[in-house]
Amino acid sequence: MRKIFIALCAGTLLAAPLSAPSVHYAQGAEALSVEARGRWEKDVDVAKLYDAVVETIDQRFYDEGILKKLDWRARAQALRPSVVSAATAQDAARQINELLSELKTSHTGLFTPDDYEYYILLDVVGLGPEVAGLMSRRFWGTGPYYPGIGAFTRRVEGRHFVDGILEGSPADRAGLKYGDEILSVDGASYTPIAAFVGKVGTTVRLEVRRTDAAAPESLSVEVIPIRPTKAFSDATPASARVIERDGAQIGYVHVWALSEQNSFRAAVAGFDSNRAMADRSARQEARTASNNREAALNTAREMPKRLDFLIVDMRGRVGGNIAVAGQLLQTLGQEDPFWGRWQTFGRTRPGQLQGSTNQNPSFRGRSALLINHHTRSAAEIMAYGYKRSAFGPVIGTPSAGAVVSGALVPMPGDLLLYIAVTGHKFDGGQRLEGTSVIPDHRVERPLPYAGGADPVLDAAVELLAKRKANVP
């Protein structure tokens, strides 16, 4: 069975289906050597690049109706002189992406080796025959990786604020917080992509500002080679924790990508494992204290309780595999997957998807889902199925409305064209592309100088704790 991936990374054209906001990240640069940085520009024949992009869109873009409405060929021909005469290949790539944005479709963009998404897409979408040569040239003997610290930033009015930190990453261990403004790296002006090039294996000094009027603070952070799928998979179980509120035991797991389900299952299984270990320890203590009734009662009171609820945080950065979205729902307790009402359309038809064989659902009706504009693609399908089946409350802000399947096509100079090749319909014809999942409880999470605050998570914890209190 061929896997179908919807790998959406918040950024240039993939941040939303209808626009191209200026969103950047605190990692993502040339993954081979300092000398190789910028080399791709020298190797690009801009005219050949442009013609290859136009031709590939014309032949493989999933919706011919959109191409006809835009009059794709005529529009591309009109722009060609400007692109071919661009001062730099980087500027040419920018103009090409502006043209692609007119298609108003997610999973469609041109990426260079200076783009963070370049490495994410190569790793998450997977190695196919079309990109095998590129992978061999650029990552012989390894896989796609880039130098980074495990933090993401968003530009707000010209300043860079941390809007995501991978749990367990160097950035997390160093104490970087959501909402911190990054001012510099090793005394040089902060740049989201190039800041960490050539610094793998070293420790950099980050200057950050945590409140608008505060003096800068200094953090020492290790730079490591980040393999995207491994980093996302490791961060998910690392995020797992139990939050106690008003007698309720609430588990929390942050799902960064739906490229595989093992990391989520490992996180949930960890809660049961901790309970089992505590049970064994408590039983031993109870036997030891069997002649002391008061000690035995105290031991029983101190035993950790099983989870009452589970919060699944889908505010990640990557969609992933549609099949994994179904498996995740079944892990939570989906008895009747809605995949039976799932249809595809376009020029490329995926193989039949199969769901999980999990027979022991444990969180149906006892969970909450967190979403925002980073929830996209397969993660968005998961959110749609979760809400449709009334698993529990959905909390946060609307999802991205970015649900098609994309394919990677190498372009001249080893650039990557990500192109939407398959559309999806649900429940008898509803398209999710361009249609956000709307939360049941809308809660914003302000960014600048937030100090790590997460009012969305706080709202979910409060809501579930109240449900526990109201259970007779």
CATH number, domain containing residue 321? 3.90.226.10
Instruction: List, for residues 423-440, the tens digit of each pLDDT value.
Output: 888 777 778 888 899 999
Residue 50 placed within a domain: yes
Examine the domain organization and report whether 235 and 336 are in the same domain. yes
> Which domain-ending residue is among 124, 139, 154?
139
> Which domain-ending residue is among 192, 226, 260?
226
CA torsion through residues 257, 258, 263, 269, sign:
positive
- β-pair partners for 313: 254, 370
Residue 350 placed within a domain: yes
Number of domains within the chain: 3
Residue 438 placed within a domain: yes
Angle (CA) 143-147-150 rounded to 5° is 105
Q: What's the pLDDT score for residue 362?
A: 64
Q: Give the CB-side neighbour count of residue 245, counting CA atoms within 13 A.
A: 21
Residue 413 placed within a domain: no
> Which domain-ending residue is among 161, 195, 226?
226
Examine the domain organization and report whether 272 and 204 are in the same domain. no
Residues sharing a CB contact under 8 Å with residue 188, sequence separation 6 or more, in sequence order: 195
Examine the domain organization and report whether 34 and 72 are in the same domain. yes
CATH number, domain containing residue 163? 2.30.42.10
Examine the domain organization and report whether 192 and 51 are in the same domain. no
Examine the domain organization and report whether 311 and 332 are in the same domain. yes
Strands 309-313, 394-396: pairing is unpaired
Examine the domain organization and report whether 247 and 350 are in the same domain. yes
Examine the domain organization and report whether 318 and 461 are in the same domain. yes
Residue 419 placed within a domain: no
Residue 410 placed within a domain: no
- Could you count the other beta carbons within 10 Å of the beta carbon of residue 37? 18
Examine the domain organization and report whether 271 and 309 are in the same domain. yes
Residue 408 placed within a domain: no
Examine the domain organization and report whether 35 and 20 are in the same domain. yes
Q: What's the pLDDT score for residue 216?
A: 95
Q: What's the pLDDT score for residue 319?
A: 82
Residue 411 placed within a domain: no
Examine the domain organization and report whether 250 and 330 are in the same domain. yes
Examine the domain organization and report whether 206 and 326 are in the same domain. no
Q: Which domain holds residue 63?
A: 5-139
One pLDDT digit (tens) per residue for the chain, 472 residues: 333 334 433 332 333 322 333 333 333 333 333 334 456 788 899 999 999 999 999 999 999 999 999 999 999 999 999 999 999 999 999 999 999 999 999 999 999 887 878 888 888 876 677 888 888 888 888 888 888 999 989 989 999 999 999 999 999 999 999 999 999 999 998 877 778 888 999 999 999 999 998 999 999 999 999 898 899 999 999 999 999 999 999 999 999 988 777 888 888 877 865 554 444 444 344 444 444 545 443 433 343 457 899 999 999 888 887 788 888 888 787 555 555 555 666 665 544 444 444 444 468 788 999 999 999 888 998 899 899 888 899 999 999 998 888 899 999 998 999 999 988 887 777 788 888 999 999 999 999 999 999 999 999 999 999 988 776 5
Examine the domain organization and report whether 433 and 363 are in the same domain. yes
